[in-house]
Amino acid sequence: MGGYHGRYLRIDLNSGTANYVALSESVLRRFLGGVGLGTWLLHHESPAGVDPLAREAALVFCFSPLVGTPLTTSAKFAVVAKSPLTFRLNDALSSSHFALAGKRSGADALVIVGACAAPSVLVIEDGAVRIEPAGELWGLESDETTRQLGERFGPEFHSAVIGPAGEHLVRYATISHANRHAGRGGLGAVMGSKRLKAVLVAGTQRVAVADPTRVIEAARDLSQRSFGPATAKYRELGTVSNLLTFNRLHALPTRNFQQGQFEQAENLSGESLNAARRVARESCASCTIGCEHIYSSSNGNVRLEYESLFALGPLCGIGDRDVVLRAALMCDRLGLDTISAGATVAFAMECSERGLLKADGLRFGDGEGLLSLLPRIARREDGLSDLLAEGTRIAAARIGGDAPDFAPHVKGLELPGYEPRTLQTMALGFAVGSRGADHNRSGAYELDFSTVTDRLHGSPAAAALATETEDKAALIDSMILCKFLRGVFTDFFAESADLLRSVTGWDISAEELRTTARRIVTAKKLYNVREGWTNSEDTLPRRFLNEGLSTGVSTEATLTRESLQIMIDAYYAARGWNPDGQVSNALIGELQLADLAAENPYRDR
Amino acid sequence: MNRPTITIELFGMPRARAGTKEVVVSASTVGEALAEVVKVSPKLADVFRADGSLSPQYLLSLDGQQFVSDLTHPLRSGDRLLLLSADAGG
């Protein structure tokens, strides 16, 4: 079996010990790597019902069979844990040298349990583990932490670090590697709860592939295609180019989802940012796309994506470019998820304007208010910032009144920059997502931006098609490759099977990978069921179901609870789940998930 | 016969390549409108595939209300055609 070490490294911070645990070929073939294998490991290594910030909770760094091969964009890793924001499974991806060095350290995954007695760094070198004190790093921002670790350990080591937000258990804190973040769901808080400032990896243990000649051929072919038109958007403008498009289609969330267009959108547009502020274009290790566009702010240069731009700009009613760029840079350094940070501040702005929250006169468009709040949130400096560090769901419950109706989250995870009422297939994707409102695990928006569906009127047919986008995401996040490559494949499952055959030597087919993808999606669901999921969670905040949205023509875009439920029912049916969204024994058997379903309270249904 | 006057709004990569926000053309169909845009901005020639169909890296929306891919789709005077980059994710 090529592509794997066939083991994971289990590190117990309580005792400071580590041991290898074998991973059978059966498990690896069923779950591949990345989020798939991470999900399997979390089922086994995190106790049912665990508090995500308890020392017993597991934090999983998971590599993949493709890491270390010359295949473009394959230098990626997944981080998986129970989220302190959603209390459900959370998986987030990041990229570059940490993935390469992590896999060379000798394992297919790192499972970290327990907690250190004092701030520490975990150092893994060719499988040898040591824990070193890091009191002098505690309190430092992510970029400075990375810089000091580089000086202390040298260039062979690569680090995943937390900023002040992770240390202070902000429920949407990130884990950062070279300023690329495993961003969503508060994984940085899980690491902070273990008093781990950083995980460092280095090693020399390369893994052979089954058919080196074929892998090199495939790598050349994929690289060649990655230079082509399917990825031109990412190279030429980056994802920030979404902003004006979404604005034109009334799909740009503005002022906490009260509008779908922002009057200052032109000023913030990717097109104008590129003309006025772009200073460089960069790429992850092993990537031939180069999607990262770097912009200048008055506080330094910052990488900006659409999601950060929307959340810290229009969602907060802010049109000042420099404020948005500085806020994004601040989030990166503090280790705050830009989407949740922007959404939480936007929510606080609306609460303040409505008189529900005393927040020093905070209002939409208050750039200085945003820049003042972010560092306070990251360190929970006062009552207001401590409240907002909890995320919108918990904050809304504490604020009371009708605040929960417009707190912009699903399962606790704040919505990304897709307006659900004018992108109604995406509305379904948000409602049923295993980690909450999520644009990376469901690509349902692809259907809204197509001739296949009517984006203003969701339908059961669109719901069924949305499962395909989830399946593709589950596979690409488990192999792992970058989603920005997806446009270069003509037959994604067949070509993925070819890549995996070359690397692993398995006689694997497109059909098997389709089943693998379905298995991974349902495995996540089973984890959530074990942790208390019911179908009442698969919904949207009341605002989206009760308030229409202007679309610039005669009729408003509306999404009713009934029409959303019709899509959810169709989605459950397409997944093969029961009408209440639970997973039947028969499906557990069909998908070979029995080892994950032992504690599924609904397995006899 | 006079052809309808159509405004083509450009977003993302098409705008960056063309260097303009919109182009006004005379065209009876979506395909004719795109051909006129390519005359104005040859950098957008890849909007057509070799077989004459719409390249998958582009999207077209009629007045922001309806996505279209059929290049024979008829246009009326005053229509606004949006030319967008595909792949909304990120």
* 3 state DSSP class of A94: strand
| Assigned architecture for domain A424-596 | Orthogonal Bundle (1.10)
pLDDT in tens, A300-328: 999 999 999 999 999 999 999 999 999 99
pLDDT in tens, A481-533: 999 998 899 999 999 999 999 999 999 999 999 999 999 999 999 999 999 99
- Assign A261 to helix, strand or coil: coil
pLDDT in tens, A8-58: 999 999 999 999 999 999 999 999 999 999 999 999 999 999 999 999 999
Looking at residue A602, its pLDDT comes to 45
A597 pLDDT more than 90: no
Nearest to B87 among A233, A244, A418 (CB): A233
pLDDT at A228: 85
Q: Which residue has the tokens 């439920």?
A: A565
**pLDDT attached to residue B90:** 55
Task: Report in angstroms the alpha-carbon separations of A423 from A240, A419, A565, A566.
Answer: 18, 6, 16, 16
| pLDDT at A598 > cutoff 80 | no
A248 to B82: CB separation less than 8 angstroms, yes or no: yes
A119 phi, psi to nearest 5 deg: -50, 130
Mean pLDDT of A328-353: 98
pLDDT band at B87 (very low <50, low <70, confident <90, very high): low
B48 contacts chain A (CB < 8 A): no
Domains, chain B, in order of start with CATH, read 5-85 (3.10.20.30)
pLDDT of residue A233: 85
Predicted local confidence at residue A389, as pLDDT:
98
Say if A489 is an interface residue toward chain B (CB within 8 Å). Answer: no
| B2 Cα to chain A: minimum distance (Å) | 28
Helix A510-530 / helix A561-575 crossing angle, nearest 10 deg = 120
pLDDT band at A275 (very low <50, low <70, confident <90, very high): confident
What pLDDT score was predicted for residue A375?
A: 98
Q: How far is Cα A341 from Cα A381, in angstroms, rounded to an integer?
A: 15
Q: Check whether A288 has a pLDDT greater than 50.
A: yes
Query: Which amino acid is present at B35?
Result: A
Domain A227-414 falls in which CATH fold? 1.10.569
Mean pLDDT score of chain A, rounded to an integer? 95
Percent of chain B with pLDDT over 70: 94
In this predicted model, what pLDDT tens digit does every residue of A397-425 receive, in sequence order?
A: 999 999 999 999 999 999 999 999 999 99
Domain boundaries, chain A: 7-202, 227-414, 424-596
Are A239 and B13 in contact (CB < 8 Å)? Answer: no
For a pLDDT cut of 90, what percent of chain A falls above it?
91
Distance (Å, rounded) from C-alpha A317 to C-alpha A349? 9
Instruction: List Cα–Cα distances, B14 to A25, A241, A392, A406, B34, in angstroms.
Output: 47, 10, 37, 36, 11
Q: Which of A426, A451, A550 to mutate to test the interface with B (most CBs of B within 10 A)?
A: A451
Neighbours of A604 (CB within 10 A): 7
Round to whole Å and give the CA distance between B7 and B4.
Answer: 10
Using an 8 Å CB-CB cutoff, list chain B residues near A305: 90
Confidence check: pLDDT of A135 > 90: yes
- Domain A7-202: give its CATH code: 3.60.9.10
pLDDT at A605: 39
Residue A603: per-residue pLDDT: 43
So what's the pLDDT on residue A229? 84
Per-residue pLDDT band for B1 (boundaries 50, 70, 90) equals: low
pLDDT given for residue A133 in this prediction: 97
Does A229 contact chain B (CB < 8 Å)? yes
Mean pLDDT of all residues in B19-45: 95
Residues A343-387 pLDDT 10s: 999 999 999 999 999 999 999 999 999 999 999 999 999 999 999
Report the C-alpha dihedral over residues A443, A445, A447, A450, rounded to 10 degrees.
-130
Would you state the pLDDT for residue A604? 42
Find the helix packing angle between A321-334 and A338-353, rounded to 10°.
120
Model confidence at A81, in pLDDT bands (50, 70, 90)? very high
Mean pLDDT computed over A68-75: 96
Judge whether residue A431 has pLDDT over 50.
yes
Of the ranges A108-122, A248-262, A285-299, A325-339, which one carries the lowest mean pLDDT score? Answer: A285-299
**Interface contact A271-B12, CB threshold 8 A:** yes
Residue A245 to chain B, least CA–CA distance (Å): 6
> Does the beta-carbon distance from B90 to A305 stay under 8 Å?
yes
In 10 A of CB A275, how many CB atoms? 10
Residue B71, chain A, CB below 8 Å: the answer is: no
Helix, strand, coil percentages, rounded to 5, for chain A: 45, 15, 40
Residue A230 is classified by DSSP as: G
Distance CA A565, CA A563 (A): 5
